[in-house]
């Protein structure tokens, strides 16, 4: 699929789209709570708002493990690990068992994973709720950032007194 300008000519310096922009999705009903994945700028205040309702949401904190890269690749291929990020000599990993634990507890877990992690969750029949946060105008993003920084400064100031 190539883009063209108003007159029907092929636009210069345009990258042809390999996949359609919008995809039709299939609704899957689930009796258990699903993981939540957020993408976009300024996610911290949104995540904090969700975590304020601790009866419904929790944060899936990555475990820190000393693993070899070949072992990490094997665990990712077997879908025992959902996500692995290297941090110096250690790996921060999100395991399938931790997501399963939150699902059994009846709590939505907020997970920080890449799109490949979402694919691994699909193969394990965990169908995450994926939310993309997008500001319509860059100025709204700046305003939200200022408000968030101001609120954090006020809270830290109150704690220090």
Mean pLDDT of 119-147: 76
82 class by beta-carbon count within 10 Å (0-12 exposed, 13-18 middle, 19+ buried): buried
pLDDT for residue 131 is more than 70: yes
CA 11 centroid distance within chain: 34
Q: What is the pLDDT of residues 67-125, one digit of tens each?
A: 999 999 999 999 899 999 998 889 999 999 999 999 999 999 999 999 899 999 999 98
pLDDT for residue 24 is more than 60: yes
Q: What is the pLDDT of residues 28-74, one digit of tens each?
A: 677 788 999 998 888 888 889 899 988 999 999 999 999 999 999 99
Mean pLDDT of 121-132: 89
What is the token pair recorded at 97? 């068992």
pLDDT for residue 126 is more than 50: yes
What is the CA angle 49-56-52, rounded to 5?
A: 25
Sign of CA dihedral 91, 108, 24, 79: positive
Q: Would you say the pTM of this structure is higher than 0.85?
A: no
């Amino acid at each position: 699929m190539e883009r063209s300008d108003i007159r029907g000519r092929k636009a210069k310096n345009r990258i042809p789209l390999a996949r359609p922009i919008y995809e039709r999705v299939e609704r899957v009903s689930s009796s258990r709570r699903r993981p939540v994945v957020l993408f976009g700028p300024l996610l911290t205040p949104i995540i904090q708002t969700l975590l304020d309702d601790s009866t419904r949401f929790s944060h899936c904190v990555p475990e820190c493990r000393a693993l070899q890269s070949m072992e990490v690749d094997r665990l990712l291929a077997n879908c025992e690990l959902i996500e692995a990020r290297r941090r110096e000599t250690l790996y921060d990993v999100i395991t399938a068992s931790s997501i399963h634990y939150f699902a059994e507890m009846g709590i939505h877990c907020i997970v920080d994973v890449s799109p490949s992690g979402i694919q691994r969750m699909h193969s394990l029949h965990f169908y995450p709720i994926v939310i993309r946060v997008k500001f319509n105008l860059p100025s709204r993003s700046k305003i939200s950032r200022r408000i968030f920084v101001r609120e954090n400064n006020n809270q830290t100031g109150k704690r220090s007194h």
